[in-house]
Structures are given as C-alpha cells and as structure tokens.
Amino acid sequence: MKFARFGTVGHEVPVVIDGGVTYDLASLTRDLTGDFWAADGVAKTREALAVGSLPPVMEAAERRIGSPVPRPNKIVCIGLNYREHAEETGAAIPAEPVVFMKDPMTLVGPFDDVLIPRNSVKTDWEVELGVVIGRTARYISDDEDPLSYVVGYAVSHDVSEREFQLERGGQWDKGKCCETFNPFGPYLVPADEVEDTQALGMKLSVNGTVRQDGTTATMIFPVAHVIHYLSQFMVLYPGDIINTGTPAGVALGLEGNPYLRDGDVVELEIDGLGSARQKMVQA
C-alpha cells in the first residue's frame, strides 16, 4: 500500500495504490494532511480497501504526481549524517546531529522541474530518506520507540546551493531554501511496511552517471536516534518531514565539482520507496 497525491499544482487529490490499482481517498479525507495521519488514516484506509468502498481512479497513469505530503508545518534536516559524506566535504564527524530547517515551500513533486537559482554556480544533489511524522512527538522518553511516531517514509531530494550555503554568511538556510529545492515522493510507504529503515539502498544519478550509491546502514545517527533527539528540542507534529542526511557522492566532494546545470537530469531511488526524476531548469 502506498499513499500519493495526483493532479496539477495546488489541486492535488489523495489516492492510495494497492495491488497495482489506484483508489480515490476523497471519501476518507480531503488531503493527506497531518490530521489524517493523526486520526489513524493508515488503518482507516486499510479498512476501506478491505470492504471495497474506495472507487478506482481512471487513467491514473496520465496524472501528474505531486508530493505525497502537502505543505508541512516544517521540514527538519540532518546534515553530515553519513561518515563518508562528512569526510568528502572536509567536515568533522559530528558528535551530535547537525540540525537545520528547510522552508516547507521548497516541497515539489518527484517529477517536477527543479529551478537553478539566478547567479548559482554550485547547485548540488542529495538523495535522502524522508521521514513523515504521524503523531505529535515531544520529549520522547528513553523507554519509548521513536519509530512509533512515524507514519511513513519517502524518497527526498535535498537540493543545495553550496556557494549560498557555505560562502555567503556562514549559515546554511540560503543554500537550502531556494524555490523547488525539495522534490519529495513519488509516494509515502506506511512505516509498518518498511521492514528495516537502516537497511535501505539509495542511489542517485546525473545524466545517467551514478553519483551516489549508498545505504541507510551507514548513517552516523540512525532514524530512531534522530527522532528522539529532535523531540528534546522541538515539537514534531503530524505531517512534519525529517530529511535524514545523504551518503557520499555529492558534487561538492567530487573531483572537478560537477555541479548541476540547466538541462541536467537527476534520477534517484530508495529501496522499496520508488524512484523520482527531475530536470534542472534555469530560473
């Protein structure tokens, strides 16, 4: 079972894909919002599928696929969460998770164009495991399972402009919050259908050349640790997204720094979570 949103920008409708068939979720919810997840939307969807009350979506393959999560309250990101990635960028291995925020307005569909900002010369790629929160998390205790707060997982592309990020003022927001800088999806896979979040292969290619080929097994701070850690500093609300870091192979760390240019095509995938493709277009 996979949750998705189909339709033109700003007019997406919620669907669920099960057994190769796409079903309309309009009878259960207007959208895949945090309120839907918090009200046990996954279980309600399974019940509706079991009794056959959801109508199929005609010509689903012809529809645009939007982000499976509409605009969240926040996107929280973990930087330098893979040892090899930290080393390739020349950064020290962090003792605690490196946390920064990404503007929720950067969220776009998995096949939408990504705009290279004006005056950009260092737009970079980062495939990441995206985590979607399903119930409010604050001060998670040591005897709780942090993963029980997760509703699902998705492919996330944390696009970054390295000059803006590292050379223009000493903080990361300007290089992370440019328009269209977080393609997400194609769908959200329920958490209980992902057997092991720390055993997922991740790949990203640019114009057909594989640039990143890693696994979540090499995270410095596993997903459960990240969620527990964040909950000590901020409230995580249903629908919030956590980008959990990227493996080695970004342009910043490659010989010649082959940053993205107008017309480049990036393809990315994570085991069990699907694949995405974006064309780079000059803003």
Predicted model pTM: 0.97
Residue 235: Cβ within 10 Å count: 14
Structure tokens at 94: 């962090």
**38-53 pLDDT, tens digit each:** 999 999 999 999 999 9
pLDDT for the residue 171:
80
The backbone region for 143, taken as left when phi is positive above 0, alpha when psi lies in -120 to 50, beta otherwise, is alpha
What ranges do the domains of the chain cover?
A: 2-62, 75-282
CATH entry, 75-282, from 3.30.930.10, 3.90.850.10, 3.20.20.140, 3.40.1400.10:
3.90.850.10
Q: Determine the pLDDT at residue 186.
A: 98
Above 90 in pLDDT, residue 68? yes
pLDDT at 170 > cutoff 80: no
Q: Is the pLDDT of residue 90 over 90?
A: no
Q: In this predicted structure, what is the pLDDT of residue 55?
A: 97
Indicate the pLDDT class of residue 94, thresholds 50, 70 and 90: very high
